[in-house]
Amino acid sequence: MFKLKPFILGVALAFAFSTSITFAGGAASGGASEVTQVMNNGELIAATSKQAQLVAGQIRDYTSQVNQYVTMVQNLKNLPVAVVAATLKPYKETLRDLGDLYRAVDDVYVAGGQAYSTYERRKAEMANMNMSYDQYLNMETLLAASKGGQYKVQYEKDIAALKKLQDKATTLAGMDSQINAVSGNVEGLQLLAQQNQIMAGELMELNSQLLKKSAQEAADKELQMKVLERQIKEQTELNAMKVKSNQATMKAINNGGKYKVEEKRKKLFEGL
């Protein structure tokens, strides 16, 4: 019913197939470089978001057709209520599935656009600073942990955008029964499911790396603070010991009072 042009479908399928090979580790090519992987992830997000937008439109169109059929049956006269209910039952179930799928697909489209913008900005920053992905990640987590402020806000915002897309992709990936129920009438849905499945796996791995890095930086900062606190405590105790030692020394010299030079001299020369 909703036919994709053969050329467009072929290109989209080729993209999904090539990205699945790339992200599987690239046995034939030896694996993508860090920058290439970042670019591939960004392209995958962009392609999946665009496909989600297309499929959301297809779902709307098919929902409209099913609703028209339901209305037509409901308007038929001289049909027993039980017959009408039995006839419409599968179509109402289809409408529920379509509603659930539309919300899930639209969520992937919206979150995908936000995540793609995040990816493009990070990719541009990496290129401008001539940094590898690991170097960039180390820098941003260090700045977020040590300086906080805008660095921390932006870092957490980026993580949230990528995590949101991961959650939406995971939700859609878990809707196999609804997808199988309507995919015959929404042709772009199967391709979207394939792309979405790959993207969900990539985002899960990426977000895991980001969270581990953030946790490590936080742990390192906490350790540094503990070391600093211990050093301050030791220095304070040392200073107190020095003061106490100096006081004891002065007390011994003065024999508990002020050292009187003339009095000591007289005692020294007594009897001479």
Tell me the residue range of the domain where 257 lies.
230-268
170 and 128, same domain (yes or no): yes
| pLDDT winner (highest mean) among 13-22, 56-65, 210-219, 242-251 | 56-65
Evaluate whether residue 87 is within a structural domain. Answer: yes
Same domain, 58 and 122: yes
SS (H, E, C) the chain: CCCCCHHHHHHHHHHHHHHHHHHCCCCCCCCCCHHHHHHHHHHHHHHHHHHHHHHHHHHHHHHHHHHHHHHHHHCCCCCCHHHHHHHHHHHHHHHHHHHHHHHHHHHHHHHHHHHHHHHHHHHHHHHHCCCCHHHHHHHHHHHHHHCCHHHHHHHHHHHHHHHHHHHHHHHHHCCHHHHHHHCCCCCHHHHHHHHHHHHHHHHHHHHHHHHHHHHHHHHHHHHHHHHHHHHHHHHHHHHHHHHHHHHHHHHHHHCCCCCCHHHHHHHHCCCC
- Domain closes at, from 218, 241, 257: 218
187 plus 239 within the same structural domain: no
Residue 113, pLDDT above cutoff 90: yes
* End position of a domain, from candidates 218, 239, 260: 218
Mean residue pLDDT across the chain: 76
Residues 61 and 127 in one domain: yes
- Clarify whether residues 255 and 148 are in a common domain: no
Tell whether 160 and 247 lie within a shared domain: no
* Residue 76 pLDDT: 85
Query: Domain check: are 211 and 240 in the same one?
Result: no
Check whether residue 60 and residue 153 sit in a common domain: yes
Do 179 and 47 sit in the same domain of this protein? yes
Asked whether residue 45 is domain-assigned, the answer is yes
Mean pLDDT of 4-26: 35
Looking at the fold, whether 29 and 81 belong to one and the same domain comes out as yes
| 223 within a domain of the structure (yes/no) | no
Residue 1 belongs to some domain of the structure: no
Same domain as 253, residue 207: no
What does the pLDDT average to over 28-57? Answer: 74
pTM of the model: 0.65
Task: Kindly state whether residue 10 falls inside one of the protein's structural domains.
Answer: yes
What percent of the chain has pLDDT above 90?
A: 29
Q: 159 and 247 share a domain? A: no
**pLDDT surpassing 50 at residue 21:** no
Total tally of structural domains belonging to the chain: 2
